[in-house]
Amino acid sequence: MNSFYYSPTHNQGITKTISVTSGKGGVGKSSMVANMALQMAREGKRVLILDGDWGMANIDIMFGVRSRYTVEDVVKGRKELKDVIVEVAPGVDLIPGGQGLYDLQHIDTLMRRYLLDQVGTLEGLYDVMLIDTAPGIADNVLYLNSAAQEICIILGPDPASLTDAYSLIKVLHQKQRETRFSIMCNQVTDEIDALRIFKRLDDVASQFLCVRLKYIGFVPFDPELRKATKSQQLVVLSRPMSVSGQAIQGIAQKLSGFRELRESKGGMQFFWEQMMGVA
């Protein structure tokens, strides 16, 4: 068994909120979120994951944990937020998703205030919050992405992945006025392949949209990653020296250490206010 180093840090600042999203399913988004969260914790970060893919919420399963409650229980008034947060690994906590995320847009003012008060107690307890969104351009996906400080889009080698990623960027730009996106390529042959895919997206985006795309790295196709995922293991822990494990570690370091925070966006409190239509 590999040793797992966790050194807690005392975070006095604003929690960085990073959405991880994609134009289509099947690009390994949830696996990337779980592995990056584990790696960030390994580097001493305190990480909170929000499972925002309420149609296919499965982050807890990836950590071998079964969640009893979800954010839906909070929205319905059955539980407090602290009651649904579950520790899935040393330094990594999870807010299980559920359809309640969609209901956040429709709760009454009293419940809105009550939930925001609970969220306020979490600010500063975490260095990073990773939001795993559903794929596509549904309203709840747009809300989750636009509320985060950093939007990380995952591309796969499938041409449809590139087309759908462009559609997502276009809708986020036109509807939510988003202008900056981080791009990561997954399941590609090598970095030449990754940069080729990124350039195709960047060329089209810069031609038709006023946005800035930032390439943050790639994860190569790796049988070790597939094997780990099938056996419900996380590759950064079970095979940290594999090519995919090393690549994910590098991307996690970039994302957790990014400096270009959106001036118009705050941390966790702002994220939830946006989600509830307060801000």
Report the pLDDT value the prediction gives residue 99, as an integer from 0 to 100: 66
CB atoms within 10 A of CB 223: 10
What's the pLDDT band for 132 if we cut at 50, 70, 90?
very high
Report the pLDDT value the prediction gives residue 248, as an integer from 0 to 100: 97
User: Looking at per-residue confidence, does 57 or 77 come out higher?
Assistant: 77
Report the pLDDT value the prediction gives residue 97, as an integer from 0 to 100: 81
Average pLDDT (168-176) is 96
Average pLDDT (144-159) is 93
Report the pLDDT value the prediction gives residue 234, as an integer from 0 to 100: 94
CA 250 vs CA 83, 136, 141, 219, 255: distances in Å: 33, 26, 26, 10, 9
pLDDT > 90? residue 203: yes
Q: What is the pLDDT of residues 225-262, one digit of tens each?
A: 999 988 888 999 999 999 999 999 999 999 987 655 55
pLDDT > 90? residue 192: yes
What's the pLDDT band for 10 if we cut at 50, 70, 90?
very low
Lowest mean pLDDT, pick from 10-24, 74-88, 115-129, 139-153 = 10-24
pLDDT > 50? residue 49: yes
The CATH number that domain 16-275 falls under is 3.40.50.300
CB atoms within 10 A of CB 210: 8
* Percentage of the chain exceeding pLDDT 90: 57
Average pLDDT (90-103) is 82
What are the backbone angles phi and psi of residue 137, rounded to the nearest 5°? -125, 30
What's the pLDDT band for 67 if we cut at 50, 70, 90?
confident
What are the backbone angles phi and psi of residue 84, rounded to the nearest 5°? -95, -15
Report the pLDDT value the prediction gives residue 14, as an integer from 0 to 100: 82
pLDDT > 90? residue 36: yes
pLDDT > 50? residue 2: no
Contacts of 116 (CB under 8 A, 6+ apart): 269, 272, 273, 276, 278
Instruction: Parse the chain into domains and list their residue ranges.
Output: 16-275
- Cα separation, 97 vs 102, whole angstroms: 10
- Cα separation, 192 vs 185, whole angstroms: 11
Report the pLDDT value the prediction gives residue 179, as an integer from 0 to 100: 95
**Cβ–Cβ under 8 Å, residues 129 and 14:** no
Q: Which helix (H) or strand (E) holds 128?
A: strand 128-133
Report the pLDDT value the prediction gives residue 1, as an integer from 0 to 100: 34
What's the pLDDT band for 115 if we cut at 50, 70, 90?
confident
